Amino acid sequence: MKGVFRRLAGVLGLFAAAILSMGASQCSQSQTIELSIFHTNDIHSHMRPPKADEFKLGGMARMSTLLQQLRPSRAVSITLDAGDYSEGSWPYSVDTGANMLRILDAMSFDAAVVGNHDYLAGPDRMIQTRNEAGVHFPVLASNLDFSEYAHGAEFRNAYPSTYIIQRGGLKIGVIGLTTIDYPFASYLKPVIATDPVRDAQAQAKILRPQVDVLLIVSHNLFETNMQLAQSVLGVDAVISGHSHTKKSRAVMVENAGRQVPVAETGQWGTFLGDLRLTIDQKNKVVKYLSYELHPVEPTLAEDANVKAIIDGEYDKIAKSYGSDIFKVVADTDADMDISDSHRPTVGHVAVKGYRDATGADLALEMLKLAGVRVLPGQLTIEDLHDFMPHILNWASGKEWTVKIWHATGKDLSFVMNVFYSVGNVLPLGNTGFLAVDGMEIVWQPKDADHAVPAIVSTTIGGAPLDTSRMYRVALTDGMTLALTIANEKFHLGMDLSNIEDTGIEAWRTVIAYATKMQHLTSEGIQAGGRSYTLGPDLGVFRHTITYDGTALRVQVANDGKGPAVGGKLTCSSGLPNDSVAYDTELEKYAKIGSVDLPQINGGERLTVSLPWTPSTSGFWPILCGTDLANDGYGGNNASDRVFNLARANSRWSVAK
């Protein structure tokens, strides 16, 4: 009997050990949870797909469908927006961004952060916007100083500093950081944005002990957001916005021996970020698992609920405008971007509108304040409205208006010389950030013999600039603000006391000008507002790269005054049908061919042909650039363009 009991005890012991082992195994497995963080940034009220996207991506109704497809396959997921969800296209002017918050709410977002374009209506209106939106998720902004603001407590209630999301057994802490943006700081006054790194470090000390995962969602420069990942102890990931940087891979930053991912999706809702972490709750260890960018493809069905909200917002715009905003009023042959005034840009059209409406001697605009890239083809009222900013003054009901600065020739000469001499050291990046009309400039770029760029000659209305004369200069709120800030900060001594407001909204002048002209050609857009280098300046422009089914045809321009001798043109093709790799470190270009260029004199253009046969149909990135030993300006040396190619009857053609 004792043997039986011993055997029975042994069996029971093994059975108990097995049960305990299974329990321990299940307990151990249950301690590790996978978290998916879906995220967006810099949507700028692009509710519908942006027309200028090369791969036809975007649209919030499509993104909603994408989220609905991805979420069920994930153990635990949250969805975050890293700011600038509002100002940037016409829907913002309906209610200063409450409509975009409602769209994010309909898509089940869990939190968002205030970006610099989200605080342009001022703190009083921001409180109203948040309350009118009535959404179920928090909009965060931790790094703010309310000491001079009478409604600070009310603002903080509307826009908290941090938030804890409880989901799937996890406590997920989120710190939200808004933008330090010196040029736009006046819009937020008397509230002041403070150092995001110091603020996040202080908030992390409070929040980290309470949560399983700590995230920072920051609308600051990508470099600043990398600093946050490096400097804030206990942070597990940084969701980035503001730089419009598309990262096909998360950037890993070391922090106290740990690797912290920083992720950003680009702009305008064309991609959805997907960051995955694993959380060992028992040992309190969070690890990076993977990152993926999901393109918001045109093949995705539109979520009917979100689409209905969007359609309703556009109905409000049409009712306010009093006409069909999708009416075609003009067309263009130019591919107009916002990056460089040595190319035809939306800024060039804008300044022509300002000047045409006011009869000013000249007009100025900063390209970085311009709205969207515009492709060749038809232009609707909506397209033209979105050329420029839409910073609505809620009290007046008007967007930015055209101003007239009565400027002395001396001040005007000083302004232009400052822009050109410091252009390459400003955050704006180059001397091509200023669009002008009625003025032409010849300048000497920085080179081995010239320490800084300098203007050689300036003409206004065909006559040399007269430093003793008064000029009427048309500009908008943004340019006026930039001049005022520079004048005060650097004690420049310019006379800005005589600036009158015409009361004419800038976007209305753009529509009026384009409607009058009907055909906006690339040459006409830049006429009367060019800048030329003193020597040669070879350039390739996006809209002059074409494909005829057998060869690339590329126009090379010499926008300098001197002859270009010994130049070369090279074209390459990128990865076909890969929207994720495009314009990122994953893009790989294969050389199509090169052509030695003959002498091109100043102001001349030459069209070059390079045979090319694609290997497959679909979207092909093409990059063409020039090489010239003594080229005066590098900003316009290369351009890329994406062709949507189809093959029929053994012939290739470009799809529209």
Indicate the pLDDT class of residue 351, thresholds 50, 70 and 90: very high
What's the pLDDT score for residue 210? 97
**Which residues are 457's β-sheet partners?**
442
In the chain, what are the helix, strand and coil shares in percent, each to the nearest 5? Answer: 30, 35, 35
Provide the percentage of residues in the chain whose pLDDT is more than 90.
79
70 shares a domain with 38: yes
Classify residue 316: in a domain, yes or no: no
456 shares a domain with 328: yes
Residue where a domain stops, chosen among 518, 533, 548: 533
Classify residue 150: in a domain, yes or no: yes
**Confidence check: pLDDT of 24 > 60:** no
Classify residue 403: in a domain, yes or no: yes
- Sheet with 605-611: list strands edge to edge: 538-547, 551-558, 605-611
350 shares a domain with 269: no
Q: By the 8 A CB rule, do 355 and 529 touch?
A: no
**Structural domain range at position 618:** 538-654
**Confidence check: pLDDT of 2 > 50:** no
**Confidence check: pLDDT of 221 > 70:** yes
Over residues 119-124, mean pLDDT: 97
Q: What's the CA gap between 242 and 232, in Å, rounded? A: 19
Indicate the pLDDT class of residue 410, thresholds 50, 70 and 90: very high
518 shares a domain with 544: no
What's the pLDDT score for residue 307? 98
**Confidence check: pLDDT of 23 > 60:** no
Q: What is the mean pLDDT of the chain?
A: 91
What's the pLDDT score for residue 582? 97
Classify residue 2: in a domain, yes or no: no
Residue where a domain stops, chosen among 483, 511, 533: 533
Please state whether the peptide bond connecting residue 190 to the residue before it is cis, i.e. omega within 30 degrees of 0. Answer: yes
Total number of domains in the chain? 3
Residue where a domain stops, chosen among 282, 311, 340: 311
Over residues 126-134, mean pLDDT: 98
Over residues 123-139, mean pLDDT: 98
Over residues 270-279, mean pLDDT: 98
What's the pLDDT score for residue 430? 52
Identify the weakest region by mean pLDDT among 88-97, 426-435, 484-493: 426-435
Provide the percentage of residues in the chain whose pLDDT is more than 70.
93
407 shares a domain with 293: no
pLDDT digits (tens, 9 = 90+) for 590-639: 999 999 999 999 999 999 999 999 999 999 999 999 999 999 888 889 99
Strands 362-366, 434-437: pairing kind: antiparallel
Classify residue 10: in a domain, yes or no: no
What's the pLDDT score for residue 432? 65
161 shares a domain with 198: yes
What's the pLDDT score for residue 209? 97
Classify residue 494: in a domain, yes or no: yes
CATH number at residue 73: 3.60.21.10
What's the pLDDT score for residue 422? 67
600 shares a domain with 528: no
329 shares a domain with 429: yes
What's the pLDDT score for residue 426? 43
CATH number at residue 362: 3.90.780.10
Classify residue 318: in a domain, yes or no: no
Q: What's the CA gap between 232 and 200, in Å, rounded? A: 7
Q: By the 8 A CB rule, do 123 and 178 touch?
A: no
Within 13 Å and on the Cβ side, how many CA atoms surround 461?
10
193 shares a domain with 93: yes
Classify residue 23: in a domain, yes or no: no
445 shares a domain with 575: no
201 shares a domain with 58: yes
pLDDT digits (tens, 9 = 90+) for 67-120: 999 999 999 999 999 999 999 999 999 999 999 999 999 999 999 999 999 999
Over residues 357-374, mean pLDDT: 88
Give backbone dihedrals phi and psi of 351, rounded to 5 degrees, phi first. -65, -30
239 shares a domain with 135: yes
What's the pLDDT score for residue 5? 33
